Structure 1
């Protein structure tokens, strides 16, 4: 349990921590009471006791909503982590029976990774854990550390530059890039040299980034391409390229998949780029959750190139 300055934690009612956590999640007494299966007066009384024992209003009304105070926000992460640790400690050693489990596991991925990963994963889950529920959320370019800390996500699968030391990271696969053009594109008679690549009209799948691998390399050579359309969606990008004279750089696996469905031709980049890595990331202390461990193992073994990465941050 986190240290709470200025009070004797031996006399603190630990049941109040569950109420605190739910109030911070919902920022509404009625909704918190409903989720806790308690009456509204009971939760209101618990909030009053929390305010008294912590010496802070914790939640203050702003207009029609309640907002957490700085003190409440400072306590939110440590208290939630402590509650999760207690919950996971209690389930250690419990048998996880995939065939009968009705657990809900939440994963954040990009549409590209969802296309690659989820079809084979769902086929496997349908056989081995038919009652398991998987909820997928959209993954932004930055690691959603706070959502993982709060338990809103169980794991994420994507490309990350920085991962804090409290997380475990596993290399899922390495991916390269290909240039996708519509079949019969007028610029492809003599392959795809760099000068041709640069004068083409490009579609860029930005994924929330300000600059991707291709444009970073070009900038280092004092070069630039002509980007005339941007989208956050890989799946839409392939259809747009197939129907126009636009050019797009796509992950090889996705490009090959769409080349079997759409009139697309694929080309090597006219310059060398290192492969990028897709990683599976979760809180290290969650590794003892048997359901999460089962899911991580299934995702990792779906790709023969997988290997577990050592922690990249020094101890």
Structure 2
């Protein structure tokens, strides 16, 4: 039960921000560093809150503290209010993309940067020249927390592992293809599984490339392919593929984003590989943020495949 003291306790805006930060960090030392305060000062502040609320708020666990149910409920009510205050103070006249100097943070894999970043950047240069972008490639297991905390504003990709209070919008439905240079000997006829497995392959050993899916599909049939060259990203893939007899199996959108996709012979991969969706993701916390709403609408209008 909430104490009557709570009704008369004079919470400051800084304390409310600190409370939500501790709920996020679940560690007083980390919160103290981010607040530029001593840990003892943070502990004293937490004690004041406990007396005011009449609840422990945070209980010790092995690697820090865990918020109680009351703390979580309070945080969920405070977070949208604090975000509204921040937006009101930083953008008192609303969001104007043509005049804004805001920095947005976007999660994209290397294939996402290849496919979406040039077009988005060109649009911003023309329509919103003061806006800055920071592109991050977070580990999949940290994406939901990154969206929740504001470390990133939106995420683009095939990210079915993201749950919680995260919304998404479909940009495009994708499938895997196999590409080779136009003069490749195998470009003269239909590519079958025997020819596929006997050929030399260029493999992009990245989570976004589908490399592991191809290997798993072949192993399930007790088959293997000859990977002549494996690289960690897409940077040199087009140049290597254009000057070799390698095959490259990747999402269709990756090949279409090459500088000159017409220089390649693109065919269906002779394996049963899953299709997947590329989606734009954002957290519920940003629902009142006019800037992030504008960014979402911009990305959708540029890249949504209709």
TM bin (shorter chain): 0.7 to 0.9
Aligned residue pair count: 290
Q: Specify the alignment match of 1:234 in structure 2.
A: 234
Alignment partners' CA distance in 1, 2:32 and 2:304: 49
Q: Provide the secondary structure at the position in 2 that maps to 1:234.
A: coil
Q: Specify the alignment match of 1:50 in structure 2.
A: 46
In structure 2, do the counterparts of structure 1 residues 76 and 215 end up closer, same or farther at CA, with 3 Å as the change threshold?
Answer: farther
Q: Specify the alignment match of 2:35 in structure 1.
A: 32
Kindly provide the CA deviation profile for residues 147-183 of structure 1, in whole angstroms up to 9, marking residues without a partner as x: 1111111110000223425211100112233212345
Q: Specify the alignment match of 1:88 in structure 2.
A: 83
Kindly provide the CA deviation profile for residues 164-212 of structure 1, in whole angstroms up to 9, marking residues without a partner as x: 2521110011223321234544554544221010122333334337964
Alignment partners' CA distance in 1, 2:75 and 2:102: 19
In structure 2, do the counterparts of structure 1 residues 207 and 294 end up closer, same or farther at CA, with 3 Å as the change threshold?
Answer: same
Alignment partners' CA distance in 2, 1:80 and 1:154: 20
Task: Give the alignment of 1:201-280 within 5 angstroms.
Answer: 201-208=200-207, 212-227=212-227, 229-258=229-258, 260=260, 264-271=264-271, 273=273, 275-280=275-280
Q: Specify the alignment match of 1:101 in structure 2.
A: 100
Q: In 1, are the aligned partners of 2:58 and 2:71 still within 8 Å (CA)? A: no
Residue 258 (structure 1) shift: 2.4
With structure 2 as the length reference, what TM-score do the two structures score? 0.74
Q: Specify the alignment match of 1:297 in structure 2.
A: 297
In structure 2, do the counterparts of structure 1 residues 280 and 164 end up closer, same or farther at CA, with 3 Å as the change threshold?
Answer: same
Which structure 2 residue ranges, 5 or more long, are not aligned? 51-55
Task: Please identify, of 143-152 and 48-57, the stretch whose mean Cα deviation from structure 2 is larger.
Answer: 48-57
Residue 283 (structure 1) shift: 1.2
Residue 242 (structure 1) shift: 3.5
Alignment partners' CA distance in 2, 1:194 and 1:254: 22
Alignment partners' CA distance in 2, 1:225 and 1:51: 63
For the aligned residue pairs, the C-alpha RMSD in angstroms reads 4.0
Alignment partners' CA distance in 2, 1:238 and 1:7: 68
Residue 236 (structure 1) shift: 3.2
With structure 1 as the length reference, what TM-score do the two structures score? 0.72
